[in-house]
Amino acid sequence: MDFKLQHTDLQSKARAGIITTDHGVIETPIFMPVGTAGSVKAVHATELEDDIEAQIILGNTYHLYLRPGLDTLQQAGGLHRFNSWRKPILTDSGGFQVFSLAENRKLTEEGAEFRSHIDGSKHFFTPEKVIDIQRIIGADIMMAFDECTPGDAPYDYAKQSLELTERWLDRCLTRFRETECPHGYRQTLFPIVQGCVYPDLRKQAAENVASKGADGNAIGGLSVGESTEEMYEMIDIVNEILPEDKPRYLMGVGTPANMLEAIDRGVDMFDCIMPTRNGRNGQLFTKNGIMNMRNQKWKNDFSPIEEDGASFVDTRYSKAYLRHLFNTGEILALQIASIHNLAFYLWLVKEARRQILQNNFPAWKASMIDTIMRRL
């Protein structure tokens, strides 16, 4: 994977760049739709490519390992061929999912033993196994195995957890160097900066990650219970240390405002389930604010969902019709809302990139945040 930093806004740390992988080019800043089990919920590949204009999607090692399983993925030739997605894919290591199973997992120096949320069967992830799994999945960008501590973790626990994550990182890197992609193209591995909300731990983690010389680096363990102010503080600390000539990926964040604030602090890549999950529950993000499509106020509003929206669904369907679909339990409601929200998120980062290249990002960001986060 190659990264070219094209421009940094003259008034902030916001950056525009280009990532090149064997499955295509990614213009940053970028948002990655989440396809946890190999599918972005309620959206098929043609919509992702042609309407939403997604440049990269995310899959999850834990879920893909359980279903469909490694044998199927191996025989299919990797996830790209299995789900017919021709552009880049990033996989989370599964660390967040494993460690969210607090009552069903056991952590040791060797790795994590856990029980499947599907059938209760017992499994064991080591750093080496997680690399092997991601090799078979065939993601262009792989994540190191880490422990994601909650935002309110005590200092001593966060410190021990970070030290274990750092030891696991060394094992991940060793295994990565010893292996290659079985599907005939290049893959890369991102380390993950942990450290909870403690500045000294975040600094230690960022310095260790930066020393590894990886093609890109991730920031994990945020938006997991800490305050927004603490999240932004940790991003500031970490990005002062992570190398400028490598992409920075903020994992699992977040709202449109979160993304714009993080871009302002030098972050390049994002993923979050919010646009699809909230969309399936009737919440739409728009350039003018947030709409709850179940509200009575939309019952007889026959205007387009969003007159200058980023997707064809915005002008094809009315607010009244979409509300009707939600209130009658029609599956089409979930599809329309998911497509709309994903297209909005991709439009937002694309517009952010345009503003960065024009050295106008801070002023644009300030005006956008006030608008897009208000309730309509």
Query: Which residues are identified as catalytic?
Result: 92, 271
Contact by Cβ (8 Å): 331, 280:
no
What's the token pair of residue 337?
Answer: 């809302």
Nearest to 207 by CA among 155, 167, 236, 243: 243
> SS3 helix, strand, coil % of the chain, rounded to 5?
45, 20, 40
Among positive and negative, which fits the CA dihedral 206, 208, 210, 212? negative
d(CA 161, CA 127): 14
What's the token pair of residue 16?
Answer: 């525009």
DSSP assignment string, 274-317: HHHHHHHTTEEEETTEEEETTSGGGTT--SBS-TT-SSHHHHHS
CB neighbours (10 Å) of residue 106?
Answer: 11
What's the token pair of residue 343?
Answer: 């297209």
Strand order in the sheet with 217-219: 30-32, 269-271, 248-250, 217-219, 192-193
Q: If you compute the radius of gyration of the chain from its CA atoms, what whole number of angstroms results?
A: 20
